[in-house]
Amino acid sequence: MLKNICAGLMSAALLTGGLTTYVGAEPVHVPTLADMSVQVKEPTVQEQRLAQETGKAVASAPVAPVAESQPAAATTAAAEVKKAEPAAAEPEKKSLEKKISINLAARSLALFEGTEKIRLYPIGPGTPYTPTPVGYYKIQSKDVNPSWTSPSTGKTIPSGPDCPLGYRWMQIQGNYGIHGTNNPDSIGHYVSNGCIRMYEKDVEALFDLVKIGTPVEITYNRVVVEKLADNTVVYYIYPDGYGWQNLSVDDVNKWLAGYGVANFVSNEEIEKKISASDGEPTYVAKVYPLYVNGEKMKNKAVEQNGVMYLPAIDLADAVHVDLGWNDKTQKLISTLGAADGVDKKDVLYCKLVDAKTLFKLDGAVEKNNFVMKFVPDEKKSNLDSREEKVDATQKIDHKVVSVAQQEIGQVKNEKASNKDKTKK
């Protein structure tokens, strides 16, 4: 009975935001006269003379108290700082909250601290006939050295080497839980009655890292895409152990598009990956948010095999330069110059080394962003018969560059069609 009462108190503490908050709040300090200095108004010379004549003392009138340590303006500023402190600390608190994420298709359990994955363990989930239920749960109880009762015979096996639960149990819903096992060879397979089995050393480590109330998310995702610390995007495709999720190339492309790399994996490669469904990592490219002259672009900068690729039409729009595409020669032609281009799934890219020729732009990685800026060019454009220097930040006067217009082949119309092309 005492155990149940203690557990109830602990649950109450968790509902109020954790054991660390289950204490009385410190009293708010209310200023008193002891914290103030009282300024006294001295009587005027006329008032003193009148007092001498009448024989009465002149009362000194106190004025409004002022804080002794600082002027009123500073007090207000300090109050605003104090109000801002909890708001600033809130994201830090959230970033340290732990969450268990289980992917049944991958047969893995990940422990997150905020958005950072800090542990990854293999598991043995339910069989296809007794699958582990997907959903959102919480750890409801934790037990050391649990006993197990057979659902078929009703026989109870105490904790020990013969107990199927191992030496740790974390309940997530009803009879479902995360626990150890006396059959380590079963880990990595669909073997249980719906519980999550773990190696004993892993479950004991996890047991110490989480608390009652820790969220538990159970999903079934055959496609997993991750962005590593160095900005490399990697994806995995797992077998359909439960027969719940048929995959198509379009499905995988949608997952990759969310990370900005769908154009850098061919449909043929994706088909082979689905066919294999081996759960092995495929490293695609490094991806960076793209900024041009301080403005964020819709598409991203992508570095693959040591080459930085940039979305050509995004750059053209950003610096107000018309752009054309010669499909036969695989050339990008702008009103500033021409260079090799790359058509990746109907999206046109240029290489970083050619950005200066096409757009008078250059860039580099800055704080996990790819930042591009206008680069002045000493050379005069050969596109203008008058040899006037072309400013890439200004709209080109197409009446002047008639020769370039003929070479580009009605750039305005092609640019519009290219825009439509990128939307497909």
Tens of pLDDT, residue by residue, the chain (424 residues): 222 222 222 222 222 233 222 222 233 333 332 332 333 334 444 545 554 554 444 443 333 333 333 333 333 333 333 333 334 444 445 568 999 999 999 999 999 999 899 999 999 999 999 999 999 999 999 999 999 988 888 899 999 999 999 999 999 999 999 999 999 999 999 999 999 999 999 999 999 999 999 999 999 999 999 999 999 999 999 999 999 999 999 999 999 999 999 999 999 999 999 999 999 999 999 999 999 999 999 999 999 999 999 999 999 999 999 999 999 999 999 999 999 999 999 899 999 999 999 999 999 999 999 999 998 866 554 444 344 444 444 443 333 333 334 444 444 445 445 555 544 4
CA neighbor of 274 nearest in space, from 235, 218, 304 = 235
In whole angstroms, how far apart are CA 175 and each of 141, 148, 149, 171, 252? Answer: 11, 11, 11, 7, 35
Enzyme catalytic residues: 179, 195
For 124, which DSSP code? B
Is-above-0.75 flag for pTM? no
> Domains in the chain, please, with CATH?
98-219 (2.40.440.10), 223-280 (no CATH), 289-423 (no CATH)
Neighbours of 327 (CB within 10 A): 8
d(CA 74, CA 145): 59
Do 265 and 237 contact (CB within 8 A), yes or no?
Answer: no
